[in-house]
Chain A
């Protein structure tokens, strides 16, 4: 630990910042982070990738969902230092050049949002769901998307959008 001095002159231990390398949306990013920095805060505050949203910050809403090594997780409950060496995909990394990802296009086609705050998490979560290949029926999609809450209640259109994208992927 590093030492620092307080106003009264006492010396206290302060945990060290640590080097962290993440491959974010295909680009290697080297950061120096305090251990208590969440992956969500690293993405938003250090890498300016503000597409990933901070909703509840407690793993209850899913707005912060990103893909880490291809698997969907809640980035608000992940420490960035623990993801050292990982490949991270955020909403900014789904489109290729000028072509939207099939899920992005399907969300537009089906008007699968109102305020849009939960949408990046919904789309990243749906990308994870399609990669997992476990959901076939509408009930199974609803259940495996239950970690993404939509305050506007756009669920029927979100379901339709995911079904459209599944048909294409």
Chain B
């Protein structure tokens, strides 16, 4: 690993001061992705600012009936927190579908959102990669792209965002609270991550001198009708080929409100409001689910090794919406897809 200086931030203002003073510094919390990338020479910060002692570890109810999650709450604590497990089981399920318990014990809420793609070319410093080295080219477009994006990609980058938690947060319409030199602001989850465009080196709209302080969930948790269906090459501890967060509010057999977000298919957790609108007011049946899948995948484009993901996602969406409508969410332990 490269050599670097290390400092501990004492409070949020101190953390912001320290990061603003050094364009090559990075925050470290769980470190599960950053340390790995530093060992691979992909990330080369000259200074790490340890934020793990900041008071951002609470999970609390907000005045409007939602929940505010401190940026440093470990993934495992968040998944099992009673407020989350009871009111936002979609989030619990998505978290438990990702990584391993050791990693979830280390990894933070804020860090999960800021993890980088697992594109094999991004990790391989001997190959061109526009995300790692802007302007060098994309090795994946004509390379091994089985894991790569089918939605929202660009000629510069077809990488996917690896988070499971983020897919649930997109579906639940979370907000990301951040602090910077000029104060605090809240970013809608849909606006937090970016599509690659011609600047794939930028994963998010967070500025270098800003820190994530919390993630806020609105009151509606869809606890009765939801699922997180993750399909991958092995049954556990693998990144998604395609994952689907589906949540419905039903009135009789009719869909009053719908949420649909996918992982493993784009540069960001992919929520599609048009697909949700196609479900609203419809009877909760296979025909409606198939139409919504067609809407979501209307601009999908495959590459040499990942075209299978389009039909895969279509079937996964129908299956996930069926699970959600039936109130039979995907088990994250026995893995049988019913």
Q: Measuring CB to CB, which residues of chain A are less than 8 angstroms from any residue of chain B?
A: 1, 14-16, 18, 34-36, 38, 57-59, 62, 65, 71-74, 77-79, 81-82, 125, 128-129, 132, 134, 137, 139-140, 142-144, 146-148
Contact = CB atoms under 8 A, between A and B. Distances in A.
B333 A62 contact: no
A1 B6 CA distance: 10
Contacts of A147: 99-103, 237
A18 B6 contact: yes
Contacts of B48: 35, 79
A81 B6 contact: yes
A146 B236 contact: yes
Given A77-B106, A82-B31, A137-B333, A128 B36 contact: no
Contacts of A38: 35
* A contact patch SS: mixed
B2 interface: yes
B32 to A, nearest CB: 5
Given A82-B28, A139-B333, A15 B5 contact: yes
B282 to A, nearest CB: 35
Contact of B101 (A77, A82, A132): A132
Interface in B99-118: 99-103, 105-106
13 contacts: A15-B5, A16-B5, A18-B6, A35-B4, A36-B38, A58-B36, A59-B102, A62-B100, A73-B105, A77-B36, A78-B106, A81-B50, A82-B52
Nearest to A74: B102
Given A15-B5, A74-B103, A77-B31, 4 more contacts: A57-B39, A65-B102, A73-B105, A137-B334
B213 to A, nearest CB: 20
B332 A79 contact: no
B192 interface: no
Contacts, number: 94
Contact of A73 (B38, B80, B102, B335): B102
Contacts of B102: 59, 62, 65, 72-74, 125, 128, 147
Contacts of A143: 236, 332-333, 335
B294 to A, nearest CB: 33
B207 to A, nearest CB: 25
Nearest to A13: B5
B337 interface: no
Given A71-B105, A74-B102, A74-B106, A15 B4 contact: yes
B3 interface: yes
A124 to B, nearest CB: 9
B13 interface: no
A62 B104 CA distance: 13
Nearest to A57: B39
Interface in B233-252: 236-237
B147 to A, nearest CB: 15
A27 to B, nearest CB: 23
B333 A79 contact: no
A82 B333 contact: no
Nearest to A69: B105
Nearest to A38: B35
Contacts of B50: 81-82
A17 B114 CA distance: 28
B58 interface: no
Interface in B16-59: 28, 31-32, 35-36, 38-39, 48, 50, 52
A35 B45 CA distance: 12
A14 B335 CA distance: 50
